[in-house]
Amino acid sequence: MNILPTRVRDDFPFLAAHPDRAYLDSAATSQRPRQVIDAEAAFVATDYAAVHRGSSMATGAATLAFEDARARVASFVGAAADEIVWAENATDAINMIALGMSDAALGLGGDDAGARFGLGPGDEIVVTEAEHHANLIPWQRLAARTGAALRWVPVDDDGLWHTDALAAVVTPRTRVIAFAHVSNVTGMIAPIADVVGLAQRVGALTVLDACQSVPHHPVAFSALGVDFAAFSAHKMLGPTGIGALWGRKDLLDLLPPARTGGSTITTVTMESAEFLPAPNRFEAGTQPVSQAVGFAAASDFLQAIGMPAVADHEHEMTGLLVDAVAHTPGVRLVGVPAGAERGPLASFIVDGVHAHDVGQFLDDRGITVRTGHHCAQPLHRRLGVAATTRASAYVYTDAAEVARFADALAEVRPFFGADR
């Protein structure tokens, strides 16, 4: 049995404060270790100041901490520091790309930006039917603003999409392909090499939603071949209120900034403004400095454990979750079939019981799971259900918690009389 949780569980104050609760909702928001909490608190207590503004000692120290955090997070995802842009979260990061492309279509950013990013009638944006709303709605809006067509890759009866279906949708007019590395509902791991190959064949940009991959196994964006990627701190042991956009440096320097103002410019006149290179061109206004420090501390915590060890442990815990679902009568696993490789989550349907009732029943027994459409309404509509229940594992999940989940899940249908 993997001993990883024994080594790390004591680092999480939430787990100590709630010893009788099994936290199986890390796919939504993970808990924070004391190392992350302490790093952010220490910065706020002793080094808190504005960054990139002024010449004081305090500003200099805060700026060093801020940029050091960027470098550490960049290293975690196999990137250079100037390829990481701070965002409010992954949703914000994806919106940065879509809004920047919208501005490029208006001629903002110059001819080169317009040629690379500008869309118009006849152009196409491709997503999948399984996307989180964060990787769907920004592209819907971009299509509406520019006259481009939004096309999508259909999923099958299990909620999974396939490369041949993608190939049937991609055309020489495809300009963007946006997709999740790991689905937050089905657990499907995308065939990135196939997607990148199709995109490169037609000259399309690739945008990767990496929220459910970066926290769980080694990821190096530069090696994947994608053009942009987004991920969030709060899903990888870090604070809320901060995420990151990764992009190839040449593209980031060309993309018009979605938000403008202080800290982003070189020269401003009453008629125009010129912008700094990336990443600063995208980071308008007061920065999330303490959150960046916490984000970096979370990266360090995971690096210290070793991402291969994290992935191995989660593979084991996910297998136990899937087994619990698959072997409970009247409970159907959603997405990737049992025994196949998946992300560290298991969504399921309990026959005869609404997902919200399932979640409340489990919560009453000290088991935290997620219920609802998981910000993926089109996928749930395709599956013919309004909601599913999702249990997810992380570095601190142990076998005893999964066993409690399995025992409680077996009681759901009898409790509601759905087994009669």
Which residues are identified as catalytic? 375
Separation between Cα atoms, residue 374 and residue 25, nearest integer Å: 12
Give the CA distances from residue 30 to residues 196, 286, 351, in Å, rounded to whole numbers and listed in that order.
Answer: 30, 26, 29
Provide the token pair at 166.
């993608």
User: In degrees rounded to 5, what are phi and psi of residue 351?
Assistant: -60, 125
Beta-sheet pairing, 273-275 with 265-268: antiparallel
Provide the token pair at 384.
């013919």
* Single-letter amino acid code for the residue at 92: D
Separation between Cα atoms, residue 415 and residue 330, nearest integer Å: 13
* Single-letter amino acid code for the residue at 122: G
Separation between Cα atoms, residue 14 and residue 399, nearest integer Å: 18
Give the CA distances from residue 404 to residues 205, 306, 355, in Å, rounded to whole numbers and listed in that order.
Answer: 45, 28, 18
280 secondary structure, DSSP code: G
Do 161 and 129 contact (CB within 8 A), yes or no? yes
CB-neighbour burial class of residue 108 (10 A; exposed 0-12, middle 13-18, buried 19+): middle
